[in-house]
With several copies, the nearest count.
Chain A
Amino acid sequence: MTIDVPTTGRSLPQLQPISFIDADGRLTDTPTAGLRIPGDRTLTGLYRQMVFVRRFEAQVTHLTRQGRLATYPSAAGQEAAEVGATTALAPGDWLFPTYRDSAALLTRGVPVGEILAAFRGDWHCGFDPNEYHTSPAATPLATQTLHATGFAMAAKLKGADAATLTFLGDGASSEGDAHEAFNFASVWQTPTVFVLQNNQYAISTPLREQTNATMLADRAAGYGMPGLRVDGNDVAAVFAAVTAALERGRNGDGPTLIECLTYRMESHTNSDDPTKYREAEEVEHWRQFDPIDRLEKYLRSTGAVDDAGIEEIAAAAEALAESVRDAMNREAEIDPLELFAHVYAQPRTDLAEQQQVLEAELAAAGRA
């Protein structure tokens, strides 16, 4: 039987997650698949952004408990994956995030008010995707992985230098769309990086009821695509792996699947009750792997940061939190008639008629 198929690089990822800095802030001796630890300046920037992100998540969660937002899914505990991956993007690259990835949007430079517009209930997407090279955060699971693949395919066809990065969760990896995206991306060799944040839960469903695989990165081999498993709480590892994968993509070598092992420290959203499905001890156990603590220890050990530096960052994070409060204190102006404004490019009589109905109702209620 002679079948022509590429056989290069056919292997499963190493069992041990790739990691540079361990939970105690020391360098590991884990093999790192040829990746190199980022320099202290880069790491300090990543540290700073992780601190911002954590403060942001805490502030938004707090405001949500106060009822200022309709709902909020926090990525607390996942700062390294969110920040490490997003920071690796070039400005011209595109990000395809999910509802969980406000931290990535923040890192991408989207203003806090625009990030939170959707969760406050103002409008489905609060920012201009073209301005931030960032797709609206997708709620239907795994659907965005295909958008990222298609976008990258168009970039490739145009000969543009852009790559795409998309986040998906351990739960989302079970959806058919995730499989189709892996396959299309690898057949078409698009510059796409799939960052699978394995935070151990899909709402209440634990990983072991989601997959029987040793690791989700094992999926990659079945598509002829490189797969990596990284310590998702080590921002150095995430940044290095994603940077290399984006580079691969831009060089025409196709997509990469990167599984970031991490943990969702908070409830799924504010309306969730995690005591129904996980033990407090498990959450505690994961605290020791905290992505910020370990990097702080490491950067102190190299002398890249000191007390003053840490304080300055904390103060800046406080300012960010204040800007979040400010933004959420300002009510957005939402014109009810915008209901009809953006559905179609070509105007429709039906919608014009219905708009008149609403106008009349508003007038009758003294609202317009």
Chain B
Amino acid sequence: MSVEVDTSTRTPSAPAAEAVTMAKALNRALRDSLAEDDTVLIFGEDVGRLGGVFRVTEGLRAEFGSTRVWDSPLAESGIIGTAIGMAMNGMRPVVEMQFDAYAYPAFEQIVSHVAKMRNRTKGRVALPITIRIPYAGDIGGVEHHSDSSEAYWTSTPGLTVVTPSNPADAYALLRESIASDDPVVFMEPKSRYWMKETVSLPVATGPMHRAQVLREGTDATLLAYGPTVRTALDSAEAGAEHGLSVEVIDLRTLSPFDDETVSASVRKTSRAAIIHEAARFGGYGAEVAARLTERNFTHLSAPILRITGFDVPYPSPKLEEYFLPTVERVLDALESWDWEL
């Protein structure tokens, strides 16, 4: 099942539609940003000659030269820390953390500086940095290559956290993130890098921070982002076979949360579940469940469910299938609700 996104109205000059992967869409977004704005710089581990281990920066060094796109020494705190200095000097650095567990050495720079510089200086120093982080699992990666670290970033005031689930959004959200004057943690779902969609790039970019209803329904709302959007759509399809009309929302931006779109859906359906790969305890789903309940308590006929990875470290490849939230797990959750259909 492929995600159908209506791109017809978003296309400015109607370039030819073609099947592009998310990796390619991201690559195109970087290319177009580099071409339009001289202050955009790309550096990090292996993003130059190699084009990144996921090939997202492929060809950019060749096209823009090694003063716009280059390989840095291997040190994540160094990458974020120098990006901060460049941003203070008028640049818009776009940096890659090779895998999300490898953003952790940069944690202090991200949390204590990237997130706080604007506030510290009463808005006088903006840090328009985009931190690209390939995240989540389902790629058969060895330890530390499949973390879902979004909760660390979403619980940090000052950061904007974005994650696309399909190529068109990947393009639009990355362009918007780079153009944003706020620092953005841009999380790329690794398992979706090679997902193809027929789309005419460039798509027009829209306002940031909006969730998107991908499928309408009336019985329950499934909330998902990044890698689990596909799971949600598949589950809605399977639910339909059981007579359930399930609405699916792709959150797209995790921080801030688009209450308007999501609460409207939840008030309509009265039941919702959030699906993510990360462990449940203290995961992003906790915020989603808590705030939806705060805002829609009397409209709910069941608690907001969290369908997530287990509260264990991300497992080795052979155990991934048991860890990751599956369509079956979603359907079990749907069934657990007390249906009075």
Contact = CB atoms under 8 A, between A and B. Distances in A.
B270 to A, nearest CB: 23
A171 to B, nearest CB: 4
A254 to B, nearest CB: 14
Interface string A326-364: 000000101010111111111011110010011011101
A260 interface: no
B288 interface: no
Contact of A361 (B123, B181, B313, B332): B332
B75 A180 contact: yes
B121 A128 contact: yes
A340 B85 contact: no
A203 B160 CA distance: 30
A357 to B, nearest CB: 8
Given A140-B108, A354-B310, A364-B328, A339 B81 contact: no
Majority-rule SS of B interface residues: loop
A304 interface: no
A22 B264 CA distance: 75
A367 to B, nearest CB: 9
Contacts of B80: 146
B239 interface: no
A202 B45 contact: yes
B74 A174 contact: yes
Contact of A345 (B82, B104, B182): B182
B102 A140 contact: yes
Interface stretch (A31-39, A205-213, A226-234): A205-213
A276 B51 contact: yes
A176 B109 CA distance: 12
Given A147-B88, A157-B41, A209-B73, A121 B158 contact: no
Interface in B265-282: 280-281
B10 interface: no
A323 interface: no
Contacts of B322: 336, 339, 358, 361-362
Interface in A143-201: 143, 145-155, 157-158, 164, 171-172, 174-177, 180-181, 183-184, 187
Contact of A176 (B70, B75, B122): B75
A124 interface: yes
B74 A147 contact: no
B56 to A, nearest CB: 14
A203 B50 contact: yes
A205 B46 contact: yes
A271 B280 CA distance: 32
Interface size class of B (residues with CB under 8 A): 35 or more
A171 B83 contact: no
B81 A349 contact: no
In which size bucket is the chain A interface?
Answer: 35 or more
Nearest to B207: A346
Interface stretch (B14-22, B135-143, B224-232): B135-143
Contacts of B93: 150
A150 B74 contact: no
A139 B73 contact: no
B112 A71 contact: no
A154 B90 contact: yes
Contact of B180 (A125, A202, A346): A346
A130 B121 CA distance: 10
Question: Which of B72, B85, B89, B280 neighbours the largest number of chain A CB atoms within 10 Å of its CB?
Answer: B85
B50 A172 contact: no
Interface in B42-85: 45-46, 48-51, 53, 67, 70-78, 80-85
B215 interface: no
B259 interface: yes
10 contacts: A150-B87, A158-B89, A177-B81, A177-B109, A184-B78, A184-B82, A187-B73, A350-B281, A357-B329, A360-B332
**Top 6 closest pairs, chain A to chain B, by CB:** A150-B85, A146-B81, A121-B317, A150-B82, A180-B78, A154-B89
Interface of A: 70-71, 94, 96, 99, 118-125, 128-130, 135-136, 139-141, 143, 145-155, 157-158, 164, 171-172, 174-177, 180-181, 183-184, 187, 202-205, 209-211, 271-273, 276-277, 332, 334, 336, 338-346, 348-351, 354, 357-358, 360-362, 364-365
